[in-house]
Amino acid sequence: MDLRALLERVRSLLWGRRRELPLLESTALTPAPLDVAPLDFGTAEVAVTAPEPAKERKEHDFTYHYLRGDVASAAMKILSRLENLSNYKSDDDRAERLRVLEQLWGCDFLLFDREIGERMKGGDRWTTVSATQEEHAELSWPVDFAVASFAPKMSYSEEAEKTDLLSLMRLRSISMREARGRVTRVAKRMLHVSIAQVAEGGWWDTADTVVGLTGDRWVRIAAGHNSSAAASYNNWVDRAVRSMVPSILTARYEWHVALGTIKGGPRVLLPTNPTQCLKLFKNRDVGDGKSRREKLRHWVEEHWRDKEEVGLAYVCAHLRGHTKFTWAGFDCELFPSAFDLEKCEEFKKQAAEWRSRRSHNQSVRVHLKKREQV
């Protein structure tokens, strides 16, 4: 091999070794490895905040709002007619008709309106009573009960036929002594029936009679009446009295509220119950000189009270609160049911008996040993 060939061989070897060396031979220029684990994009979980559920909008209960308006409207429709009575045109029997009107004037008339009555939900606190037509009058004797309704006319006056009539009826039980000279025959159960009808224009008419319970019918027994000549009227009286019997029976177990506009005059009576009356008349007027409404009559639950002079004392369930108030322009009075009043008195007697039998060991003192300090 000549010298030229040898030099080419050495040069090729040197260049070949040079290509095998790393491009960056200095460790000072080599970046230091990061101590971070590689990301696994396939398994990484991304935290997503779920949107807050929209709050349910609580709709306002307008039950009592609409009921207040309907009650006020129904009561005003009746009372406005009674406020605007005109003078009776006939002078022949004016005194007699005024006498019957006076018998009705001071009454509280239960409104005979099925739709409003069902919405008012009458009742007491302790029972649920649903009287039927088969229950007899003796269950609620003696009777003094009045109703008001817009019913078919009982008379045939031309003026009465022009408009709907407000009918007022009062049933009052009478004794044998009171019926003497007023009836053609006597019955075990007798009622004096007073009736009035009032038109929108101020016209009014009245009538009264005496009926007795004979068999399963209320029959007119008043002197001077010919039952055969007025069979339709007799049937009307029988149906009217029988229709009032269920209300008479349930009245003992229902709270009522009376609404009036005429001082000392007739009022409209509506059924209610211990809970509903507090809600219905929540917007009653604040009394003169008062900063807040006085509480209506309500039941106070039985509880225990700690008194310094007596110690732990038991307080029985009892009725408390006011019964008279003004609301929507009406002078109102709240009547607890007769059954609730009886229960209230019964609870008071039971509580008094319990207190009298209770032995109070007020002289006994408890002595505790002091724990020794360790």
- Rounded to the nearest 5°, which phi and psi values hold at 320? -150, 150
Whether 281 has a pLDDT exceeding 70, the answer reads: yes
- CA 287/CA 302 separation, integer angstroms: 29
**What pLDDT score was predicted for residue 173?**
92
- Is the residue at 327 inside a domain? no
Distance CA 337, CA 275 (A): 13
State yes or no: pLDDT of 125 exceeds 50. yes
Q: Which residue has the tokens 């506009």?
A: 261
Alpha carbon distance 299, 276 (integer Å): 13
Tell me the pLDDT tens digit for each residue of 295-306: 888 787 776 777
Report the candidate in 234, 245, 188, 175 with the shortest Cα–Cα distance to residue 207. 234
pLDDT at 20 over 70: no
Kindly state the DSSP code that residue 179 receives in the 8-state scheme: H
Cα torsion 349, 351, 353, 357 to 10°: value is 180
Q: 200 with 164: CB under 8 angstroms?
A: yes
Residue 79: the pLDDT is 92
**Which residues lie across from 119 on neighbouring strands?**
none
Match 């009052």 to its residue by tokens.
172
Residue 10 has a pLDDT of 60
Q: Is 247 helix (H, G, I), strand (E, B) or coil?
A: helix
Ramachandran assignment for 104, one of left (phi > 0), alpha (psi -120 to 50 degrees), beta (any other): alpha
Question: Torsions phi, psi of 250, nearest 5?
Answer: -80, -15
Residue 226, C-beta contacts closer than 8 angstroms, at least 6 positions apart: none
- Closest alpha carbon to 211 in 155, 168, 172, 169: 172
Whether this prediction's pTM lies above 0.85 is answered by no
Give residue 55's pLDDT band: very low, low, confident or very high (50, 70, 90). low
What pLDDT sits at residue 56?
A: 67
More confident residue, 18 or 208: 208
In a domain, 221, yes or no: yes
**Any alpha helices (H) in the chain, and if so which ranges?**
3-20, 63-83, 94-105, 114-120, 176-179, 231-251, 276-280, 338-357
Pick the most confident of 84-88, 220-224, 283-287.
283-287
| Whether pLDDT at 169 is above 70 | yes
Please check whether residue 130 lies inside any domain of the structure: yes
pLDDT at 366: 46
Written as one letter, the residue type at 26 is S
**Confidence check: pLDDT of 319 > 60:** yes
The residue range of the domain holding 190 is 63-257
Task: For residue 52, give both structure tokens.
Answer: 């807050």
pLDDT at residue 146 greater than cutoff 90: yes
Task: Name the most confidently modeled range: 169-173, 346-350, 362-366.
Answer: 169-173
Strand partners, 333: 258, 324
Of the chain, the end-to-end C-alpha distance in Å amounts to 112
Question: 162 lies in a domain?
Answer: yes
Supply 66's token pair: 């609409």
Q: What pLDDT is stored for residue 287 in this prediction?
A: 81
* pLDDT of residue 144 exceeding 60: yes
pLDDT of residue 332: 93
pLDDT for 259 beyond 90: yes
In this structure, the dihedral spanned by the alpha carbons of residues 11, 16, 22 and 27, taken in order and rounded to 10 degrees, is: -30
| Better pLDDT: 341 or 27 | 341
> How many Å apart are CA 81 and CA 98, to the nearest integer?
16
Does the residue 30 lie in any domain?
A: no
- Mean pLDDT on 3-29: 55
Question: From CA 278, how far away is CA 292, in angstroms rounded?
Answer: 15
| pLDDT value for 57 | 63
pLDDT tens for each residue of 36-49: 455 454 544 555 56
| SS3 at position 129 | coil
**Is residue 115 over pLDDT 50?**
yes
Evaluate if residue 209 carries a pLDDT over 60.
Answer: yes
- Tell me if 210 is assigned to some domain: yes
d(CA 48, CA 342): 66
- In this structure, is residue 89 part of a structural domain? yes
Q: How far is it, in rounded angstroms, from Cα 180 to Cα 186?
A: 9
Indicate if the pLDDT at residue 70 is higher than 60. yes
Residue 12: predicted pLDDT: 67
What mean pLDDT do residues 253-280 have? 90
Task: Select from 180, 194, 185 the least CA-distant residue to 147.
Answer: 194
The predicted model gives 264-293 an average pLDDT of 88
pLDDT at residue 116 in the model: 87
Residue 48 located in a structural domain? no
Q: In the predicted model, what is the mean pLDDT of residues 232-250? A: 81
Instruction: Decide the pairing of beta strands 318-320 and 324-327.
Output: unpaired
Helix residue spans in 91-209 (DSSP H): 94-105, 114-120, 176-179
Using pLDDT thresholds of 50, 70 and 90, give the confidence band for residue 363: very low
As for how many domains the chain has, the answer is: 1
Sign of CA dihedral 56, 60, 61, 66: negative
